[in-house]
Amino acid sequence: MRAVDVIIKKRNGNALSREEIEFFINGYVNGDIPDYQASALLMAIFLKGMDSRETADLTLAMVNSGERVDLSAIKGIKVDKHSTGGVGDTTTLIVAPLVAACNVPVAKMSGRGLGHTGGTLDKLESIPGFRVELTRDEFIAAVQAVGLAVISQSKGLVPADKMLYALRDVTGTVPSMPLIASSIMSKKIASGADAIVLDVKTGSGAFMSTVEDSFALAREMVNIGERLGIRTTALVTDMDQPLGMAVGNALEVKEAIEVLRGEITGPLADVSLTLAAYMLLTAGACRDVEEGRSMAEEALASGRGLKKLGDMIRQQGGDPRVLEDTSLLPGARTVIPVKAGQDGYISSMDTEKIGISSLVLGAGRTKKEDPIDPGVGLVMRKRVGDKVSRGDILADFYVNNEAAFPEAADIFRAAVRISAEKPESRPLIFGAVTRDGIKHLGFKP
């Protein structure tokens, strides 16, 4: 078998066999196939696509390119949740404790934030002492002890994805449905979970900006999971404005704690409860999503979810006192309001720009090695559809580097559009995709 023959076959629009895909991935990871031939295949896939069987075979070949976590020592159906990336999206810190409080183990390997999206690990590391770098044995022991652990991805996990993504980034082949789906699912499957719930974002702050593309990606990933024997569900949720009101690491942790305390409601809590319900359903812990929602709501109302978050923080070396006293989290020296310049209604938000505004303050990174400031960011006072008057505070900016504030504020102002007419409301959750098809929810806050 020759690499050039595999490239030509896909270039001509034909489906690749499992053997051809495995040969190419193994050869590339082992150094037998050079970058230029891998780039040629990526472009052929970008132009000609892959069917669902090919995409599943590509995913499995990528999984098998490195380590695969064995979680069999943990009793029960292990469930994981993955978001395609968003702004103000702190659902993991709410959902994982709620699900674990319902006696379904959550063993999650997560990533760091890059660009305008926040990373779960960065948020957790804003908790004093919290460790995300655990050994495999420590990870399993943590889940066995408290039913929940969130750690950084193993360096030996899916090396094919790291290598291929680096090529995709410089060859214009990132926005390819089979390549996106296989990249996400290979990491989730290699992490060892028995069941996966995917939160596919759609809108101005999402990788997929249209609802149609988001559902297509959701279907692709659910098909991969089911073909490879992993129970998989995907929700398509709105990212046309930040999900929570806080954007920034410690600020988002504080908001998640306030949700688990029952002190605040709204879109972040609503999406979290729905994700928790689908995680419970996908793990077989309830008969339908309505029962799952009731279980999650009870775990929230009783305080068991908050206690479970404290158990995880303690188990991973963090200071659980932050649940009672959020002032123990990193803070900012200065809080500066950004105000509305006119009367009207907030008609839209460019969520990506809001994420970038927080990044400029130091809350995010443009390169993986960039440091971040856990205490900075912004807390919005208004959402899309709210009526505002000139001089009303749109957001409070938490600032340590005042020289960065003017640029961050300008980006934020450009992201928030105010008009004379109130906009139509947009669904918070567009639908769920399972192996049985699509269920359109159209749930609005």
Per-residue model confidence (pLDDT) at position 445: 46
> Which listed residue (161, 240, 311, 350) is catalytic?
161
> Which listed residue (65, 176, 183, 191) is catalytic?
183
Lowest mean pLDDT among 87-101, 195-209, 255-269, 416-430: 195-209
Given a cut of 90, whether residue 204 has pLDDT beyond it is: no
Does the annotation mark 410 as catalytic?
A: no
Strands 148-152 and 106-110, sheet pairing:
parallel
Given a cut of 90, whether residue 343 has pLDDT beyond it is: yes
> Which listed residue (78, 81, 82, 293) is catalytic?
82
Q: What is the mean pLDDT of the chain?
A: 94
- Residue 443 confidence class, pLDDT cut points 50, 70, 90: low
Given a cut of 70, whether residue 312 has pLDDT beyond it is: yes
pLDDT, one tens digit per residue, over 125-142 is 999 999 999 999 999 999
Beta bridge partners of 232: 196
pLDDT, one tens digit per residue, over 250-302 is 999 999 999 999 999 999 999 999 999 999 999 999 999 999 999 999 999 99
- Residue 114 confidence class, pLDDT cut points 50, 70, 90: low
With b for 16 or more beta-carbon neighbours within 10 A and e for fewer, the 261-289 pattern comes to eeeeeebbbbbbbbbbbbbbbbbebbeeb
> Which listed residue (10, 112, 168, 353) is catalytic?
168
Cβ-contact 97, 199 below 8 angstroms: no
Strands 437-443 and 429-434, sheet pairing:
antiparallel
Strand, helix or coil at 300? helix
- Residue 111 confidence class, pLDDT cut points 50, 70, 90: confident
Cβ-contact 219, 232 below 8 angstroms: no
Q: Which domains does the chain have, with CATH numbers?
A: 3-49 (1.20.970.10), 79-324+427-443 (3.40.1030.10), 331-419 (3.90.1170.30)
Does the annotation mark 194 as catalytic?
A: no
Does the annotation mark 168 as catalytic?
A: yes
Beta bridge partners of 387: 345
Beta bridge partners of 235: 199, 432
With b for 16 or more beta-carbon neighbours within 10 A and e for fewer, the 110-126 pattern comes to bbbbbebbbbbbbbbbb
> Which listed residue (10, 112, 116, 187) is catalytic?
187
35, 130, 140, 359 from 134: Cα distances, Å: 33, 11, 9, 27
Q: What's the pTM?
A: 0.93
